[in-house]
Amino acid sequence: MGVKTALRTQLLTDVSAEVSTRVYQDVAPREALKRLHSHAEPFITFQQIANYGVDNLTAASGLTEVDFQIDVWAATTATREAIAELVRTALDGFRGTVSTVDIRSLRVTNKGRDAVEQPQSAQEKAIYRTTIEASVWHSETAPTF
């Protein structure tokens, strides 16, 4: 299991009441967007935006830092804000083992940028999004030379 699976598992632990299992890596299915345009079923997407190896003075440290962008998608600003707060509290300050990944530190580095996607037709509704950024430090096998 990798850090992406661990992040999804951690999110589902605390936000499943709001989004069920609708936490998607990289891209949401087209059907999820269609349902959201008709004011139903908020969801979360996440993607890895950076991956840094961490070295000490003599070799690799056995730690890596992975940065994620997490987007909360909802039909109303109130729902978007409520779910974004659940995401923040689920992640910020977490440490522990999730899906066999030893997470040393998980912190929210940007609490949110809000955006509105305007409808493309009269049948669609606006979609409200908050983008959260998080940094995950986790253990990895250090190479030996």
- Cα–Cα distance between 59 and 56 in angstroms, integer? 6
| Strands, E assignment, 1-126 | 23-25, 43-55, 60-74, 94-98, 101-117
Residues forming beta bridges with residue 43, ordered by sequence position: 73
How many angstroms separate the CA atoms of 51 and 4, rounded?
12
pLDDT one-digit tens code per residue, 9-63? 999 999 999 999 999 999 999 888 778 776 678 999 999 999 988 777 777 778 8
- pTM of the full structure: 0.89
How confident is the model at residue 119, as a pLDDT? Answer: 83
- Kindly report the CATH number that applies to the domain delimited by 3-139: 3.30.2000.30
Rounded CA-CA distance 135/48 in Å is 10
Per-domain residue ranges of the chain? 3-139
- Please tell me what DSSP assigns to residue 123: T
Let me know: does 125 contact 67? Beta carbons within 8 Å.
no
**Closest C-alpha to 102, from 2, 24, 11:** 2
pLDDT tens for 115-125 read 998 888 888 88
